[in-house]
């Protein structure tokens, strides 16, 4: 991998110097995430230098509208125990690189793959144990050209800035600007709409969250400011992939509808129910333990008033399914699926506001005890984005963190999905067997 150029891109026009409030949902996502986006060789024979310049120019225009992405995390002026974003036009990092290998040599590019991690090598720098967030860009990107002229665009960004749906809008806007077109979606970055009530009012028990017990880890799991330094997790995961074909998914759904007498069953409901059961059994949890599966739910239209179109922040809150291991292993599939449905249905306006208030009082994080998170990237529609140099081929996270299971689309046109997780081989054998049972 050869580093060709590294530049700081600033907003094309000076923006208003201000602070952006971060909601309690944003604050438990003060962690960096890496995604990679692939493109076939440009059909227009556009040079790599021209592509890189178009990318930088588009970012310069985009940062005028997403001024907070060019800012830095700082201690809140109102509350010294919170982070906020200083919109100071400090800029983002954009890197050009070249690798003397073909894209086809990297195997499966539709799922997290350790072979792909080198495409972030110039983004993360030295793997320091502690990083001063006041100095760290909220977004860094690396554009890499392969020997076959295919392209990879790697994004290293702080999750507190945008959730998956907001990232989709950000990408669509970036693509439009590279083509010389106007924004597709005008971003709305005011997160005060998700501010806790005063006084806070907790109306429900919130099993989806837990209190932080290890104070040393506060900075890596929730945006609580004390010294601004954030410990970086460099744990390597053993990523396992289970492919589910369209026929298998259709069979799961048909069984749920016919045998379980369930209504309004979606692919997510049935696959999530099976994953919950299979992972719990595979990890050999004791029968009397309570197992919790978390899954982010978009609440943009579930709160009142609804969040404005183009909301640019985090509005995915954890729904959950919860049961004893004994219940999960002995009861029929209908029980698991219905628990998933209930986890989504309970998220009405009052429940969501109660959960934000719970976080305000308890400074908690998503439940970690005997739990895991299931994140779906099935309906983001990223493959529809057209950049000046061509259509996006596919995208994937670079890794799967411990305690996380990801649902990702299979190859374009396939119709299947990939279940990505970090189980060891012996547990993965059990997980696979249970998932494929009909």
Max Cα distance, the chain (Å): 62
Indicate if 240-378+399-436 has the same CATH topology as 2-189: yes
Instruction: Give 212's pLDDT tier (boundaries 50, 70, 90).
Output: confident
- Name the pTM for this structure: 0.92
Sheet containing 18-21, strands listed edge to edge, beginning at the edge strand earlier in sequence = 18-21, 83-87, 72-75
- DSSP codes joined into one string, 221-245: HS---SSSEEEPP------EEEEE-
Provide the terminal-to-terminal Cα distance of the chain, rounded to the nearest Å: 46
Q: Right CATH number for 240-378+399-436 from 3.30.559.10, 2.60.40.10, 3.40.50.460, 3.90.650.10?
A: 3.30.559.10
State residue 113's pLDDT score. 84
User: What burial class does residue 194 get, using C-beta atoms within 10 Å of its C-beta: 0-12 exposed, 13-18 middle, 19+ buried?
Assistant: buried
Output 292 or 363, whichever has higher pLDDT.
292
Question: Helices in 295-374 by DSSP H: which ranges?
Answer: 325-330, 333-345, 349-362
> What are phi and psi for residue 295, nearest 5 degrees?
-150, 125
Superfamily of domain 2-189: Chloramphenicol acetyltransferase-like domain (3.30.559.10)
Q: Are 121 and 99 in contact (CB under 8 A)?
A: no
Each residue of 385-419: pLDDT tens digit? 899 999 999 999 998 988 999 999 988 888 899 99
For the chain, the average pLDDT equals 90
Each residue of 359-375: pLDDT tens digit? 999 988 898 889 999 99
Instruction: Give 81's pLDDT tier (boundaries 50, 70, 90).
Output: confident
CB neighbours (10 Å) of residue 150?
20
Each residue of 412-434: pLDDT tens digit? 888 899 999 999 999 999 999 99
State residue 214's pLDDT score. 54
Secondary structure (3-state) at 257: helix
Domain residue ranges in the chain: 2-189, 240-378+399-436
């Amino acid at each position: 991998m050869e580093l060709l150029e590294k530049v700081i891109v600033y907003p094309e026009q000076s923006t208003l110097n201000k602070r952006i409030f971060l909601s309690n949902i944003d604050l438990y996502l003060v962690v960096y995430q890496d995604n990679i986006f692939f493109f076939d060789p440009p059909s227009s024979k556009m040079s790599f230098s021209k592509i890189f310049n178009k990318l930088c120019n588009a970012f310069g225009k985009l940062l005028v509208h997403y001024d907070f992405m060019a800012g830095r995390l700082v201690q809140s002026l109102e509350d010294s125990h919170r982070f906020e974003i200083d919109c100071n036009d400090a800029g983002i990092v954009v890197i050009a690189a070249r690798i003397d290998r073909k894209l086809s040599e990297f195997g499966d590019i539709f799922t997290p793959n350790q072979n792909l991690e080198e495409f972030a090598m110039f983004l993360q720098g030295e793997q320091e144990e502690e990083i001063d967030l006041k100095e760290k860009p909220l977004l860094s990107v690396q554009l890499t050209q392969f020997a076959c002229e295919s392209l990879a665009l790697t994004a290293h960004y702080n999750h507190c800035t945008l959730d998956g749906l907001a990232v989709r809008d950000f990408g669509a806007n970036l693509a439009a600007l590279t083509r010389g077109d106007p924004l597709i979606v005008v971003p709305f970055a005011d997160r005060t709409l998700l501010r806790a009530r005063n006084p806070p009012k907790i109306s429900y028990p919130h099993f989806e969250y837990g209190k932080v017990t290890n104070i040393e880890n506060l900075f890596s799991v929730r945006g609580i400011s004390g010294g601004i330094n954030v410990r970086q997790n460099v744990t390597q995961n053993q990523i396992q992939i289970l492919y589910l074909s369209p026929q298998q998914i259709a069979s799961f759904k048909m069984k749920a509808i016919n045998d379980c007498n369930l209504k309004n069953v979606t692919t997510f409901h049935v696959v999530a129910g099976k994953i919950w059961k299979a992972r719990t059994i595979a990890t050999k949890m004791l029968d009397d333990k309570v197992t919790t599966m978390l899954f982010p739910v978009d609440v943009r239209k579930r709160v009142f008033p609804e969040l404005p179109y183009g909301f640019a922040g985090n509005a995915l809150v954890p729904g959950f399914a919860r049961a004893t291991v004994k219940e999960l292993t002995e009861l029929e599939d209908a029980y698991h699926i219905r628990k998933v449905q209930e986890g989504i249905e309970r998220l009405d306006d009052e429940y969501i506001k109660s959960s934000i208030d719970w976080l305000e009082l308890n400074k908690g994080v998503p439940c970690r005890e005997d739990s895991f998170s299931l994140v779906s990237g099935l309906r983001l529609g990223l493959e529809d984005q057209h950049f000046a140099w061509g259509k996006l081929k596919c995208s994937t996270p670079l890794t799967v963190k411990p305690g996380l299971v990801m649902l990702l689309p299979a190859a374009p046109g396939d119709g299947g999905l990939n279940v990505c997780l970090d189980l060891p081989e012996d547990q993965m054998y059990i997980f696979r067997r249970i998932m494929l049972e009909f």
